[in-house]
A and B are shown apart, each in its own frame.
Chain A
Amino acid sequence: MKPNDIPPGSLSLLILNTLSRHGELHGYEIAESILHASGDVLQVEEGSLYPALQRLLVQGWVSAEWGTTAGNRRARYYRLTAAGRKQLTAELSHFHRIYGAITAVLQPA
């Protein structure tokens, strides 16, 4: 693992979580939001966002619609679906359980 890479598989969790917090976002906004929220620690290879978004679309966890940005540019906006919300809850609780367990193991006795 290179420094500041995100753990594999967690990209979709980050996207889902970001969308649940901000409602509708386009790709660039999602990338910026993740970057900022992590205090600029998590460096996503920005392009890999798009295949991930497509996977979420296939699963039906997010939906996409074309809209206009503040700068009057056409952009595709993503939002969480009901199924996506459920998936997020599931992934979050899974993450917390694992993360909690790892933290407990690493805790000095």
Chain B
Amino acid sequence: MRQLLRRLSMLFHRSRFNADLEEEMRLHLELREQQQVATGLAPEQAHREARRRFGNNTNLRERSFAAWGWGWLESFVQDTLYGLRSLLRSPGLTCVALLSLALGIGANTAIFSFLDAIVLRSLPVKAPSQLFILGDGDEDGVTDRYGSTTLYSYPFFSQLRAKNTVFCEIATVLSFNGEAHGTIDHRDQMENLSPDLVSGSFFSTLGVEPVVGRLFTADDDNTEGAHPVTVISYAFWQTALAGSPDVLNHTVKFADTTFTIIGVAPPGFFGITVGHAPDMWIPMAMMKSLPAHYNGYKDNFYQSNLIFGRLKPGVTHARAEAEINVLYQQITRGFPDARLNDYNLSHLQQAHVAITPIATGISGLRHQFSDPLKLLMGVTALVLLIACANIANLLLARSTARAREFAVRQALGAQRLRLVRQLLTESLILALAGGLLSIAFAVVADRMLLRMISGGPDADLIPIDVSLNLPLLGFSLAVTVGTAVLFGIVPALRASHAEVTGALKDGRSNANVATRNVLGKVLIVTQVAISFVLAIASVLFLRSLVNLTHVDTGFPRNGVMLINMDSSVLGLKGEDPRMVAMFSEIEERVAALPGVHGAGFASFTFHQGSWNTSINIPGTAYNDAVNIKHNVISNGYFNTMQIRVLAGRSFGPQDTATSHKVIILSESMVRDLFPPGVNPIGRHIYIGKDPGPRNDHEVIGVVKDVKFGNLQEHHQYIDYIPNPQHPWGYGTLAVRYTGEFGAVSKDVQNTIHSINRNIPINRVTTLDRVIERSITNQTLVAQLSTFFALLAVFLSAIGIYGLMSYLVSRRTNEIGIRMALGAARSSVGWMIMREIVLLVVSGIALGGALTLATNQLVQSLLYGLKPTEPLSLLLAIVALLAIALPAAWLPARRAARISPMEALRYE
């Protein structure tokens, strides 16, 4: 320890050290000289003798310094400085190298951070690998269908919890926990909050501990309406309540119920759904007290919940699944109100409950983004590969060009090891600087990606943790540093083995050239092949995106504003006459505003979910597999959306709650589901299977097909029902307008508030933004793959340029001779070009083969075209040639312009 201190203090007093040593040695020499003079030598001789006996002064000083163990540091500093200087001597190449490293590593790290957050990372709970969900966890909503294996009723859960012997704990969460307006403490403004309804066993099943207060127990969830308590998330505590220490004295009020905060969940905890971070959790027993007044706590067939549990140690998956399936049949059939007709029984019999592990949680985001992210991960990995190839080429070229320098240095006595270390240091500087840049790039890219995935600049950010993934950053750094070291050191070893005299005699043509050329050419072919694959992919994705944006939606996309409001806070049922009246007043008064050409409500506008059931058309065979989407609309909706009525009429004031029930069908429904040649107008159909009067509707019109859930879907069977006959607590008003968005939006909101000032308006957006957001993942893939493909092609072009310049410089002499002997400039240019054209063409051929072999990977992400389409291939070839050939042409032209005399004199 003290030794280290002495060494350090010496290091900081370098100049003093040198001066002291110098003085000491001088004294010694002088004293010896005097002594020699005293023995009778001439002063001249005495001086020489003293020096001889003392030894090599410089060497001794170096050894004295080395005694302190800092020798490596000194040569390291020297190497670093020298390396920096020599990198700065070719700033262009250094910049390209750094940039390709930064983009390569950075993009990899950023994409992987997302892949990790969305697809790979385990839930932040106790032993997540023991957690399993019933079914696949991939549904949300409510169903009364028999044989539902993902959604279950709360009574089913209670019985399963009591009877099963395979889970040590089991919990449930409402599958469609949405937003609700509530009031924190006694604040004036209601806030848009996101509460999750969960069973009392929720937290204990997941094995989390509170930060403050306590979490739910089974006792918080046993009597309907009797447990007005809530556990809030850590983030909600920190933001909405400013981390207040007396958090347990605060309340949140939903509808008429004031919930007391009893605890705070640990930071980072969000439940089991990745990408959904609720503000708070409320016991299932309180579901009716939320503004939406869900009435399912005691309903045996209000199947709305996900059920998951922690498997007992030692219980196998197969045993658990077997027992759960036995209990499933037993409990469902045992409900006193179970309607066990043949139809329902056949569905129950076919039902099989799968038990699915949820160590990484469940996530809709995953379905949407896991393929695109995996694809982009592959793309960025390829870009990294190209970047590495470029670095390799760059370093190879540099070291070959410096063969002569090394020969000179070796001739002057430099140690081989020292030369290798020097080159290694340069490579490391390059790699590390690139690495640092890449971290900065990754941080920026992470933010941009989160924005893109969340759906654009005006969307709420998805709550996922995408902080940099350190293991992957480490891995990418290791790969690039490894490349740099390998390709830095191989030529260094070769160069340092070079026969000194040979290299000195002839700087331009030594034996290394052939080997280097082969390696360099292999690298170029690889780069071109990979770039070509990426170019094809990006062309495909771009064309697919263009196809999507030109899809016929059935309505004009532009000029429609969507106003999202929360009418549930009013505490009125949809069928309440006051609600019906309020909606029609809003519709009428908004439609009358200047700049507004129509306004209409719908239970579902584009990309908003659906309510679907089967229907029964008298005269045709009933088919329960055909699902029809139902949309409850106001009278102005078709007009607002400009959905054309093809036959019959639209809804009007004559369609009231008491008039006979009417329905309008989409054209493909009529085409596919009715017997051919039948005029549907005036015919009756039943919603659902039962042909009872309650479900009886008369068809009064046919409208054009529209896109409903997304742009990729095929013809949807949609029918429309007038609001008075099936009142709906609307959430979205569509407004067709012209003029400035901000001004019209303000007028519309004012009008709504003048009718009822208590309705909170969540957000106002436009239909085309919603459509754009529905293809976020295609946009993401198209934009990013194009970016990376351009990057790849650009990097390859630089690689080609580098190789060509190198070849030309090696052959200056030869070219000079050829031209002196009468070769035409054009033929010299072609001689150089021929080589590179051959490389590019082989690269393209190789890339083409790769594309054909892997085209299945991208098929699922394409719309309206096949991966092997010739036009895309052609576009990619043209794009690649357009960039690669000029990169090769520049050095070739330089070769062609060489003046023969100059070239010959040059040597």
The interface of chain A, by Cβ under 8 A from chain B, is 26-28, 31, 45-48, 50-55, 57-60, 66, 69, 73-76
Contacts and interface: CB of A to CB of B under 8 A. Distances in A.
Given A50-B21, A51-B66, A58-B7, 16 more contacts: A27-B24, A28-B31, A45-B55, A47-B55, A47-B56, A48-B55, A48-B63, A50-B60, A54-B67, A59-B3, A60-B3, A74-B23, A74-B27, A76-B20, A76-B23, A76-B24
Across chains A and B, which 10 residue pairs bring their CB atoms closest together, nearest first? A47-B55, A54-B67, A51-B63, A47-B60, A47-B54, A55-B67, A54-B64, A51-B64, A28-B31, A28-B28
Contacts of A60: 2-3, 6
B57 interface: yes
Given A27-B27, A54-B67, A47 B20 contact: no
B6 A50 contact: no
A31 B28 contact: yes
Interface string B12-33: 0000000011011101100110
Contacts of A74: 23, 27
B61 to A, nearest CB: 8
Given A58-B6, A73-B27, A45 B53 contact: yes
24 contacts: A27-B25, A28-B32, A45-B54, A46-B32, A46-B54, A46-B55, A47-B55, A47-B57, A47-B60, A48-B55, A48-B63, A50-B21, A50-B24, A50-B25, A50-B60, A50-B64, A51-B63, A52-B67, A53-B64, A54-B67, A58-B7, A58-B67, A58-B69, A60-B3
Nearest to A50: B64
B68 interface: yes
Contacts of A46: 28, 32, 53-55
A54 B6 CA distance: 12
A45 B60 CA distance: 10
Nearest to B69: A58
B15 to A, nearest CB: 16
Q: Which of B2, B6, B54 has the most CB of A within 10 A?
A: B54
A100 B284 CA distance: 93
A54 B67 CA distance: 6
Contacts of A47: 25, 28, 54-57, 60
Given A45-B53, A58-B67, A58-B69, A51 B60 contact: yes
Interface string B31-61: 1100000000000000000000111110010
A64 B69 CA distance: 19
Contacts of A76: 20, 23-24
B67 A27 contact: no
Nearest to B59: A47
Most buried by B among A31, A51, A66: A51
A56 to B, nearest CB: 9
Nearest to B61: A50
A73 B23 CA distance: 10
A58 B57 contact: no
B2 A48 contact: no
Contacts of A26: 24, 27
A32 to B, nearest CB: 8
A27 B31 CA distance: 10
- Majority DSSP secondary structure for residues of B touching A: helix
A28 B54 CA distance: 11
A28 B27 contact: yes
Contacts of A73: 27
Contacts of A52: 67
A48 B56 CA distance: 9
A48 to B, nearest CB: 6
A55 B369 CA distance: 64
B60 A58 contact: no
Contacts of A75: 24, 27
Contacts of B28: 27-28, 31, 46-47
Nearest to A30: B28
Nearest to B50: A46
A28 to B, nearest CB: 5
Contacts of B64: 50-51, 53-54
Contacts of A69: 27
A67 to B, nearest CB: 12
Interface string B54-93: 1111001001111111000000000000000000000000
A107 B719 CA distance: 119
Contacts of B23: 74, 76
A69 B27 CA distance: 10
Contacts of A54: 21, 64-65, 67-68
Contacts of B7: 58
Nearest to A51: B63
A88 to B, nearest CB: 18
A4 to B, nearest CB: 13
Given A31-B28, A58-B7, A60-B3, A51 B67 contact: yes
Nearest to B66: A51
Contacts of B32: 28, 46
Nearest to B27: A75
B621 to A, nearest CB: 98
Contacts of B25: 27, 47, 50
A47 B66 CA distance: 15
Nearest to A49: B28
Centre residue among A26, A53, A54 by max chain B CB count within 10 A: A54
A47 B51 CA distance: 9
Contacts of A58: 3, 6-7, 67-69
Nearest to A53: B64
Contacts of B3: 58-60
Contacts of B68: 54, 58
Given A58-B6, A58-B7, A60-B2, A48 B27 contact: no
Nearest to A43: B53
Contacts of B21: 50, 54
A46 B25 CA distance: 10
Contacts of B69: 58
Contacts of A31: 28
Nearest to B24: A76
A46 B32 CA distance: 10
Interface centre among B32, B56, B60, by most chain A C-beta atoms within 10 angstroms, is B60
A81 B60 CA distance: 24
A25 to B, nearest CB: 12
A50 B762 CA distance: 83
Contacts of A66: 20
A46 B29 CA distance: 9
A58 B68 CA distance: 6
B9 to A, nearest CB: 11
Contacts of B57: 47
A57 B7 CA distance: 10
B76 to A, nearest CB: 19
Nearest to B67: A54
Nearest to B54: A47
A31 B68 CA distance: 22
Contacts of B6: 57-58, 60
A19 to B, nearest CB: 15
A61 B68 CA distance: 14
Contacts of B60: 47-48, 50-51
B886 to A, nearest CB: 61
A72 to B, nearest CB: 12
Contacts of A28: 27-28, 31-32
A96 to B, nearest CB: 27
A70 to B, nearest CB: 11
B896 to A, nearest CB: 61
A27 B56 CA distance: 16
A5 B740 CA distance: 100
A48 B24 CA distance: 13
B20 to A, nearest CB: 7
Nearest to A27: B28
Contacts of B63: 48, 51
A59 B6 CA distance: 9
A11 B65 CA distance: 18
Contacts of A48: 55, 60, 63
